[in-house]
Amino acid sequence: MAANLLQKSIVSLSLVSVGAMTAVLGSHLAPTNAGQTQPLIAQIPAIPGNDTNFISNAVDKTGPAVVRINSSRASRSRSAQGRQARGTGSGFIIKSDGLVMTNAHVVDGATSVTVTLKDGREFAGRVLGEDRLTDVAVVKIQANNLPTVGLGNSDQLKPGEWAIAIGNPLGLDNTVTAGIISGTGRSSSEIGSPDRRVSFIQTDAAINPGNSGGPLLNQRGEVIGMNTAIIGGAQGLGFAIPINRAQQIASQLIAKGGVDHPYLGVQMTDLTPANRDELNRSPELGVKVQVDRGVLIVDVAQNSPAARAGLKKGDVILAVNGQSVKASNEVQQAVEGSTIGSNLAIEVNRAGQTVKLAVKPGAYPVSER
């Protein structure tokens, strides 16, 4: 694949649940504009209202609604056939009648789920739905009058704001860590998980195995993200799903048990003057790229919406619905915001000529999720 020639670094991204549900995602395409990413620490956050106890106040407000989720499933190891593999993660209650949000990888394939509250009560959980493309799941327990979290607005986050994580790392229930928002809008390819349909929050609040699915809070104790992954071998590089995105997915899971994601069926990479010559020398790509800015299509899936609309390997996407694009995550966001079956106007440069196409996004194939 041409994409293999574009790999610049290898990052080990670990999903932060414990035991059976732990996974490692492999290599990724390094961002070509890495030097332009946001600084890890943009400012020193102010203590709100000069309240030196604001972290404990935030935890008092939200902590009772943070839960431990134990799950078990049949082992996938040939040497352990017939045995049950177990995993532990975190979650938080969003409705007092027992709706709990967590990561999909915490409960994926689970044959049983147990939810334990901070006060020690245990409930059997039923997975209402999970979405692997965003790593969001909703679990239902039979209970009423439960404590719930308050939700913040992740669209308003800025690097340098306070961040507080609560979860059950390595089995240590109700562990609290604090740091800052280190960055926002981190693309899935930047953090080594190119198949995820999420722009992540980056934080240096300590996140460890077992924190998966737990809340990331702002200084007021509102949930602004769902902790989901760390980069192995690094310190202070944790990632959370923005709560606005997670809530959007959760609403669909509650309503119908699944989520339909629009998709085109293309593999893309960012095009820059630095990598254009390398791409043009690639026999696997097989075309000569005439421009040095845009989003290069390096492969098109057979019988996909992109193939049916006439998109080709070597096309450089310049604009989607009239909006210019320079990065693959911008194309992905535009597709994700479209409607399945509607026309998506895409402008490409093909061998030096501008070509305009109308693509009808299809539903992301379930078999590939």
pLDDT in tens, 110-124: 999 999 999 999 999
Does residue 1 sit within a domain? Answer: no
283 and 233 co-located in one domain:
no
Residues 362 and 272 in one domain: yes
Q: What average pLDDT is seen over the chain? A: 83
Is residue 2 assigned to a domain?
A: no
Same domain, 201 and 273: no
What span, in angstroms and rounded, lies between the C-alpha atoms of 266 and 301? 6
Determine which helix (DSSP H) or strand (DSSP E) holds 323, and give its type and residue range. Answer: strand 323-324
What is the predicted pLDDT for the residue at 5?
Answer: 39
Residues 150 and 109 in one domain: yes
pLDDT over 70 at 39, yes or no: no
Give yes or no: residues 234 and 108 share one domain: yes
Are residues 172 and 197 both part of a single domain?
yes
CATH number of the domain to which 317 belongs: 2.30.42.10
Q: Is residue 325 part of a domain?
A: yes
The reply to whether 3 falls in a domain is no
- Regarding whether 268 and 254 lie in a shared domain, the answer is no
pLDDT of 162 > 70? The answer is yes
pLDDT bin (cut points 50, 70, 90) of residue 49 is low
Buried b / exposed e along 234-262 (16+ C-beta atoms within 10 A): eebbbbbbbbbbbbebbebbbeeeebebb
What are the pLDDT digits (tens) for 311-339?
999 899 999 999 999 888 889 889 988 99
Q: Are residues 136 and 245 in the same domain?
A: yes
Pair (231, 289) in one structural domain: no
What is the rounded average pLDDT of the residues 53-74?
Answer: 92
- Could you tell me if 228 and 95 lie in one domain? yes
217 in a structural domain: yes
Portion of the chain with pLDDT greater than 70, in percent:
82
Number of domains observed in the structure of the chain: 2
Residue 34 has pLDDT above 70, yes or no: no
C-alpha closest to that of 242 among 202, 294, 288, 182: 202
The answer to whether residue 6 is domain-embedded is no
**pLDDT exceeding 90 applies to what percent of the chain?**
54
Domain range for 114 is 11-259
Provide the CATH number for the domain around residue 109. Answer: 2.40.10.120
Last residue of a domain, one of 220, 236, 259: 259
Residue 307 has a pLDDT of 95
Question: Which residues lie below 8 Å from residue 268, measured CB to CB, with a gap of 6+?
Answer: 295, 296, 297, 298, 317, 328, 331, 332
Q: Note the pLDDT of residue 14.
A: 57
Q: Name the residues annotated as catalytic.
A: 105, 135, 212
Strand spans (E) along 132-170:
136-141, 162-167
DSSP per-residue string spanning 235-248: SS-EEEEEHHHHHH
| Mean pLDDT across 36-49 | 45
Tell me: the pLDDT tens digits for 240-297?
Answer: 999 999 999 999 999 999 998 998 999 888 888 888 888 888 777 777 888 888 899 9
Is 236 found in the same domain as 225? yes
Q: Residue 153 in 3-state DSSP?
A: coil
Q: Please indicate whether residue 70 or residue 51 has the higher confidence score (pLDDT).
A: 70
Q: Which of 241, 259, 277 is the last residue of a domain?
A: 259
Q: What is the pLDDT of residue 26?
A: 31
Model's pTM, two decimal places? 0.78
Residue 336 lies in a domain: yes
Q: If you average pLDDT over residues 194-202, what whole number do you get?
A: 84
Is the domain of 248 the same as that of 278? no
Tell me the mean pLDDT in the region 160-169: 94
Going by the DSSP 8-state scheme, the letter that residue 201 receives in this structure is E
Q: Tell me which of 298 and 98 has the higher pLDDT.
A: 98
**Domain ends where: 196, 231, 259?**
259
In a domain, 102, yes or no: yes
